[in-house]
Structures are given as structure tokens and as C-alpha cells.
Amino acid sequence: MFNKFSIPVLMRLCVSASLMISLVSLAIGETTVSIVDSNDVSISTAGQEIELVTTGHDPFVVWKCSANPAKSGDHVVAFEYFAVETIEQPSAFLGPPITEATRVDLPDLTQAEGWQSYAADLIHLSGKQIQPAVNLLRLDFGRRAGVSLRLRQIELRKPTKQERQKLLEAETIRQSKLTKDQTIQKYVASDFEATIDQVDVSLDEIQISGEVLKPGRLGALQLFEYPPSISIAADGVRRLDTPTVDGPRFTFLVPRFENGRDRLHSGWRLGQFDGLRGRTEYLTARHFPTSVMNDVKRMSVKRLRPKSQKGLGGIGLSGPLDELPELGVHAITINIVLNSFVSNQADAGQGGVGRERIDDGTGTAAYFDPRPFAYYDRVMEFARQHEMVVSAILLIPRSKRTQNQSPLVHSEADGGIYAMPPMTSPNGSRVYANVLDRIARRYCDPAQSPGGITHWIAHNEIDFHTVWTNMGKQPRGVVMEAYYRSMRMISQAARQYNPDATVFASLTHHWNIPDDGGWQRLSPREVLETLQRYSDMEGSFDWGVAFHPYPQSLFSTVAWNDRDAIDDLDTSYITIQNLQVLGQFMKQPAMRDARGEIRTVLLSEQGFHTADYSERSQQFQSESLSFAMQRVKQMPWIESFHYHRWIDHPDEGGLKLGLRTLPTADNPHGARKQSWYVYQAIE
């Protein structure tokens, strides 16, 4: 989640004497800038060049502007840079104030072993005008310590003629995306003259049943297929010839497979050609499978439920698994990296495991690599032997080399740590479906070796999608519709083999996020309401909520001082402090599943920071953990509380959330904190 890294709200405007020694003034653009502040970075200068070496996990430099960019029209940050490694997730702020609301995500500074030009239009990237009274420019340079960067010719200027032309082209693309978003929003709000109420998938055919609500619509109706890569707002639907419908009820049978392509993940829709208007009018919403015939040879016997709410997140072989029963853990999350199962090579090499070709429909080489199963099998088998419920988080990391992306990465992903699956690519979606099928088939039964996945968490923190589920900057409706289709694919793949499998939406504690036009975030409340609407329109399916109720500030040392976490459905944040609000929301009749039951809720990631390893800091963490578990025990609608982390991690932005300290040479798993013993004692 983005807020694993600090963004100070208030800037230190007093310049230290040591910094004033090299008050670097650059007079390249119309608006000159001078360094007035910095954090987690050492600065040295040689003429007009600046060398920055990051010393911590929140490196930034603040310049003071000679003129107000809002008045001068200088809104392009430009410079030349030299970097031996890529700097990911840079950002800019124009202030005051320097706050999360003024943050603008910038394109990565890709590796440059020669001077490279860089320009970023802050108005275009943010979608917002510059506020009055601005005189500070802050640039953040990633999240890693030990990175060296040289800068020169820094300027804050107007766009060039070529940049304006690119912006015009970008605006055309932006308008196209807005049109798609408007089409989606109109569709979601629509009522239709017929309904598809059942889509049953058997081993070799699909039965689509429904009812025409208006008799005047009977006659020559057409069935349309939406393959999984086709948005409700996109072209590319497939029309199938169907018999004439002469009664209100209709049933169509179509083959499940077409030229080797599995239609398991397709949606279906009914339409009728309007001769007067010369176009097809859709009579139903799109409808996805409501039942999938299970493979009886590999079917889960029963739904495994945790014996208590106590869980732990991010479990792998890097920690001492044997201590999980000692802690009393009954549920775990594991991170499954989907890219690791896909290769462009047919063989793993001498002594390696053979790979199986994945048919993407075009002949492009893609191969399934089964070797990662050996790693996951060990964790899954341990969980099976100790009757721990497994929640798998499906992740698709982006490669730092933009020309070497996995076919599982969305074609428009342009940043962030993880990507959205290829939900606009027919070829990529077939590879995605293949990988989901193989993982679901292997891990279908918690009662049989090598174990089973009960909960499938769709990617990570979709509300902060530009960082954690990136598909490029898109309007809210476009992102949400793509994420929903991915959730459907996960659900359908898993339920072929396990009728109790449930897919979960992953969300941060930022509950209500207004749409600022920047296309950088969703609102978790909006995500859940939209999922419910799609589920009601397009066929009910089992989905749940994987919520992350961290404190309002992840660097808070206690769990009960969140000012903006209030007991109201319109609260800005839902944290442990006001966790009852999530329950109030999910218990509403409109948010329940088709059986009228509350959807499954997991608290799949949350933890409490120790500023250091002093006794006082550890006591705060222990008390926060105890406070949290007391709250959770009063809420039986929460299935599991997955504490994050097991062991402190050096690359988590300075956070120390673990039950164990940072690893050392003498203690590769870290030392147990007070919180380890407190968590053990609970229940």
C-alpha cells in the first residue's frame, strides 16, 4: 500500500546553516529554483550539477520558486539526469501545502548511463490546475537508500511546442477513455427489457437461460459473447446465430470450447437488431456463469474454516514455519507471483523441468513453468497439516525493463510495483486463464496433499491502483470494470475444482476518496458498491472483502489515536479504531450475497509500527495489538485477522511492523519482540 512510505504533511521551512552553504540556484527556466530543504539525501554540487545520494526510504529535495507557477504558467518540471539504476515511483509536490492531496506521480527515471532529458507536465499528470500562492517544488526520488543520481539544468517552465502537440494527442486518448468511462457508468445504471438469470457451465457446453419481459421483443433475438478481454464499453463482442424466441422464457446451448478456446470466462448478452436505427439494441445486461460443474475427481470435500480469528500474513519459507502453531495461527496469507509460472522458453535447460506451451491463439510462444510449485507446495503442505486456512494473494510484478514485460502484465501499465492482468488483450487473457486454471487445479482441496487455497485475493489494494494494480492512468469506471472481470476469472477458475472457493477485493483503510479527476485512486466504498451492482446485474458470485485497517498514519505507534476515523459511514478512514463501520456497511441488505448472508470479511493486512526496539516502543506495539484483537473478537463477522508482518523488512519504507526484529547475520529471522509473546497469548 502506498502509505507504507511516509509523506510528511508539514515541511520544515527553516533552512539549516549546513544546507545554506550550498543554496543552489538554477536560472535555466523562467522560474528559478533554490534548494531550501531535503530529507534522507546527501547533496553535493559541482557547478550547475547536483549529485544526490539517498540515505533513507523517504528521499526528497525541496526547492523554492522565484515566481508563482500558477501565474507564470511554468508547470513542466524538466532536467537532465544521470542514473546507473532506475528510480521508481518518483513524485512531485507544488505547495504550500505539501500534502498527499498535492502529490503528483511522475514517470520512472529509467537507468541512464549518459545524460538523459526528462520532462513532466504537472498539470497533465495530475489533471488539476496549480493552486494559488504556490512557491515550493518538492521532488521525491523513490523509496530506496543508497541510490545515486546526478541532476543538471533543472527548470520549471512552460511546455514546448512539441510537448503541447503530445499533450493534444494525449488529450485525444484521454477523451476516448472518458467516453469508455461514460459508457460503463451508463450501463451500470441501466434497466433492461429482458434478463438472463442463469448461465450453467458443464464440462462440454454452456446453457444460457432467461426471460423476455416485454412480449413485443419476442422474435429474432441474437446472443452475444463477451470474451474475458472485452470490456462492456469495447468493441469485439461475438454474435452467435440463435433460434427464434416465441415465448417469454428462452434457453440457448452453446459449445463450451471453440477451436480450443474455453468459453468458461465469457459473459453473455441478448440483443435485437433495430432496422429503423440500423443498429443492435441490447435487451439484457451481460451475464457471467452462475454455476460451474466441478471436476469430481479433484473436488474439495468441505469448506475449511479457521479455529480462531488469529492469522498471519505474507508467509513463506524465509521464516521459521514451525513457530506458527506455537503462535496459535489458524489462517495465513501467501503471495503467489503469477509471472513466475510463465516463460518464453520451452525448456528450463539441462536438468530442468520441461515447460508446456500455452496456446494464446496467435502462435506467440508462451510456456507454463511448473517449477514454482515446488516452493508453494512446501508452504501449502505445512498449512494443510496444521489445518490453516490459506488466502492466496495473486500478484503480477512489473519488470524494471519496460521492453521485457510478462504477457501477464497489462499492456498500458506504466508504473507502480504490481500490474493489472492483461484484461484488454485476447492473447494475454488466455495465458492468464491458463495460469489460473493450473494453480486452482493443484491447490483445490485443503484436505489432500499438497493442500488447498480457500480464499483468492485479487491482486493488491485496487483503490491505490497506480502503485499496486497498475493499468496506466484510467478513469475510475474503467479500472473498476477491468478489476471486476479479473475477479470473475479468478472465481470461475477456482470454483471448477473447489465449490467453496471465494474471491476477495483487496482494499486500503482510505474509505472515502472523492474523485479529483486525477485517475490515481478509487474509493474502497465505491469499489464495494460497484462490485455489488455488477454482481446483481451480471450474475451473483461469491466474493468477499480483504480489508487493510492500518492506523490512519502507518507510522503511528498506537492504534487508537486516529482523528479522521469516526463512527460514520462517511468517515474518511476505517481503521481498527472504528472497525464497526465496515460491519455496518457490509450488514446492509443491499450489500449481502444472494442468500441474504453477510459476505466474508478478512482483515488481510494490518500492523503496528515500532519506532525503534526500545522497551517503550515495543510496549506500544504490544498494547496496540492487544487492543486490535479485543476489538476483532467482538466482531464475529470478521473471519480472520492477518497480522502484518511476521518479521521486520528492511525495504518497507522504514516501517517496523513485525513480531520479530530485522534479520541479522547472527539471527536470520530477527529476535522476538514483546508483541510476539502477546500475540501468542491471545486466545
Task: Name the residue range of residue 110's domain.
Answer: 2-159
Is 333 inside a domain boundary?
yes
Q: What are the tens digits of pLDDT across the range 216-265?
A: 666 678 899 999 999 999 877 888 877 777 778 889 999 999 988 899 99
Residue 304 lies in a domain: no
Q: Is 475 part of a structural domain of the chain?
A: yes
Confidence of residue 138 (pLDDT cuts 50, 70, 90): very high
d(CA 130, CA 97): 12
Report the C-alpha gap between 55 and 44 in whole angstroms: 13
Angle, helices 524-538/476-495, rounded to nearest 10 degrees: 60
- pLDDT of 350 over the 70 cut: no
Distance CA 174, CA 160 (A): 20
Asked if residue 475 lies in contact with residue 519, where contact means CB atoms within 8 angstroms, the answer is yes
| Domain harbouring 547, CATH code | 3.20.20.80
pLDDT in tens, 364-408: 678 899 999 999 999 999 999 999 999 999 999 988 665 678 899
- pLDDT single digits (tens) 6-51: 333 323 322 332 232 233 444 334 566 678 899 999 998 877 788 8
Tell me: cis bond preceding 645? Omega within 30 of 0 counts: yes
Instruction: Name the residue type at position 185.
Output: Q
- Residue (of 554, 587, 552) closest to 573 by Cα position: 552
- Give the contacts of 454 (CB within 8 A, at least 6 positions apart): 303, 304, 389, 390, 391, 446, 498, 500, 501, 502
What is the total count of domains within the chain? 4
From 401, 356, 480, 355, select the one nearest 110 (Cα to Cα). Answer: 401
Q: How far apart are CA 206 and CA 195, in angstroms?
A: 17
Question: How many CB atoms are closer than 10 A to CB 404?
Answer: 9
If asked whether residues 198 and 166 sit together in one domain, one would say no
Q: Is the dihedral of CA 664, 670, 602, 620 positive or negative?
A: negative
Q: Is 305 among the domain residues?
A: no
What pLDDT shows up at residue 14? 29
When mean pLDDT is compared over 154-158, 159-163, 500-504, the highest value belongs to 500-504
Contact 574, 586 (CB under 8 A): no
Tell me, yes or no, whether 339 and 413 share the same domain: yes
| 658 in the same domain as 629 | yes
Q: Is the dihedral of CA 376, 377, 381, 384 positive or negative?
A: positive
Is a pLDDT exceeding 80 seen at residue 153?
yes
> Are both 345 and 439 inside the same structural domain?
yes
What single-letter DSSP state applies at residue 399? P
CA–CA separation, 253 and 671 (whole Å): 61
In angstroms, the CA 623 to CA 610 distance is 11
d(CA 1, CA 314): 14
Q: Please tell me which residue, 567 or 295, carries the higher pLDDT value.
A: 567
In terms of domains, do 227 and 104 share one? no
Q: At what angle do helices 524-538 and 161-188 cross, to 10 degrees?
A: 50
Whole-angstrom CA distances from 493 to 341, 519, 546 are 16, 30, 19
Residue 219 burial (C-beta neighbours within 10 Å; 0-12, 13-18, 19+): exposed
Q: Which amino acid is at 394?
A: L
Selected residue with higher pLDDT from 632 and 261: 632
CA distance 125 to 674: 45
pLDDT digit string, tens, across residues 582-603: 999 999 999 999 999 999 999 9
**pLDDT surpasses 90 at 443:** yes
Q: Same domain, yes or no, for 532 and 607?
A: yes
97 prior amide bond cis, ω within 30? yes
Same domain assignment for residues 12 and 130? yes
Specify the pairing of strand 389-395 against strand 455-458: parallel
Radius of gyration of the chain (CA): 26
Domain harbouring 270, CATH code:
2.60.40
Distance CA 635, CA 632 (A): 5
The pLDDT value recorded for residue 275 is 64
Span 544-557, pLDDT tens digits:
999 999 999 888 89
pLDDT digit string, tens, across residues 184-204: 999 999 999 899 999 999 999
Distance CA 325, CA 323 (A): 6
Mean pLDDT of the chain: 87
Closest C-alpha among 594, 578, 589, 459 to residue 527: 459
No. of helices (H) and no. of strands (E), the chain? 13, 32
End-to-end CA separation in angstroms for the chain: 29
Q: Is residue 111 domain-shared with residue 245, that is, in the same domain? A: no
Q: How far apart are CA 295 and CA 302, in angstroms?
A: 15
- The type of residue at 232 is I
Out of 264, 292, 320, a domain closes at 292
Q: For the segment 261-297, what is each residue's pLDDT rounded down to a tens digit?
A: 899 999 999 988 776 677 788 999 999 999 998 765 5
Given a contact cutoff of 8 angstroms between Cβ atoms, the answer to whether 577 and 565 are in contact is yes
Q: In the chain, what percentage of residues exceed pLDDT 70?
A: 90
Residue 577 lies in a domain: yes
Domain boundary among 229, 257, 292: 292
Residues 327 and 376 in one domain: yes
Determine which helix (DSSP H) or strand (DSSP E) holds 486, and give its type and residue range.
helix 476-495
Residue type, 437: D
Determine how many CB atoms are found less than 10 A away from the CB of residue 9.
11
> 115-125 as b/e, with b when 16 or more CB fall inside 10 Å?
eeebbbbbbbb
Structural domain contains residue 299: no
- Between strands 310-312 and 367-368, the pairing is unpaired
Phi, psi angle pair for 267, to nearest 5°: -105, 160
310, 513, 655 from 533: Cα distances, Å: 32, 19, 37
Angle among Cα 212, 217, 219 to the nearest 5 degrees reads: 100
pLDDT of residue 535: 96
Tell whether 359 is covered by a domain: yes
343 belongs to a structural domain: yes
For residues 577 and 608, state if they share a domain: yes
Alpha carbons 320 and 654: distance in angstroms, whole number? 23
Question: Is residue 672 exposed (0-12), middle (13-18) or buried (19+ Cβ within 10 Å)?
Answer: middle
pLDDT per residue as tens digits for the range 114-129: 788 899 988 888 878 8
Q: Which helix (H) or strand (E) holds 82?
A: strand 76-83
446 forms beta bridges with none
As a whole number of angstroms, the distance between CA 420 and CA 529 comes to 20
How far apart are the C-alpha atoms of 458 and 394, rounded to whole Å?
Answer: 6
Lookup result for grid cell 435487451:
283
Take residue 254 and report the three cell numbers written for it.
Answer: 452453446
pLDDT at 124: 83
Residues 357 and 431 both lie in one domain: yes
Which SS3 state, helix, strand or coil, does residue 325 take?
helix
Nearest to 26 by CA among 153, 178, 197, 150: 153
Where among 292, 318, 341 does a domain terminate? 292
| Pairing of β 367-368 and β 356-357 | antiparallel
Q: What pLDDT sits at residue 373?
A: 96
User: Residues 323, 269: one domain?
Assistant: no
